[in-house]
A and B are shown apart, each in its own frame.
Chain A
């Protein structure tokens, strides 16, 4: 269990257009979903935290008008990169969390496979 999917896995778009990336928890309801960005040979950087039905919380330096997050249900969050530019090209990864069933943590996070965005 605890599978997270992302769609699309790869997308190429032209500069100035907007791109939507979906993150779905397939077999559980996610309390919270997270969006990360990863540049080549770099670590994952948390962009924003989103809870179903409320506004996302963005990390410092992340433009909320540029990266629109909608968390419509407990199994779906979307990230829209608006007016994309080549510098937005990156690997975007989402994760979904749910209350832990045991062990150390209160919540457990499960990661999606990522979406490779290339802006030309």
Chain B
């Protein structure tokens, strides 16, 4: 399944299925993007990043896709596990800048 939206959307998936979480960013000058995972009552944890000269980057069970034309990126999680349940945020910045701006976030719930 997939989820798109400006409000904090929710996405429920069955354990073992693939998840797709989407994010629209706003600043055309942003050239670096990060996906974070935030569990309840905790700070964000780095998952994966991508630079604007790339369309795709893969990590362990995660893939980030970037479409600069429509200012959109997505996070794909393969074989989703209960431990993946969290809120996922994308963040954008510019190379050389020291600040991050966060997207709306998506709450992922994995059904055992």
Contacts and interface: CB of A to CB of B under 8 A. Distances in A.
B99 A34 contact: yes
Contact of A42 (B8, B49, B99): B8
A interface bracket (residues with beta carbon within 8 Å of B) = 20 to 34
A97 interface: yes
A49 B44 contact: no
B104 A114 contact: no
A43 B103 contact: yes
Contacts of A95: 43, 100
Interface stretch (A69-77, A80-88, A98-106): A98-106
Interface in B59-112: 89, 93, 95-105, 107
A111 B47 CA distance: 13
**Majority SS of interface residues in chain A?**
strand
Interface in B29-79: 32, 36, 41-45, 49, 51
A114 B105 contact: no
A44 interface: yes
Nearest to B43: A111
Given A41-B8, A103-B49, A46 B42 contact: no
Interface string A46-73: 1001000000000000000000000000
- Sort A-B residue pairs by CB-CB distance and give the 9 closest, nearest first: A111-B43, A44-B102, A104-B51, A43-B102, A113-B43, A111-B44, A41-B8, A114-B43, A107-B98
18 contacts: A34-B100, A36-B102, A42-B8, A43-B103, A44-B89, A44-B102, A45-B102, A46-B102, A49-B98, A104-B51, A105-B32, A105-B49, A111-B44, A111-B45, A113-B41, A113-B42, A114-B41, A116-B41
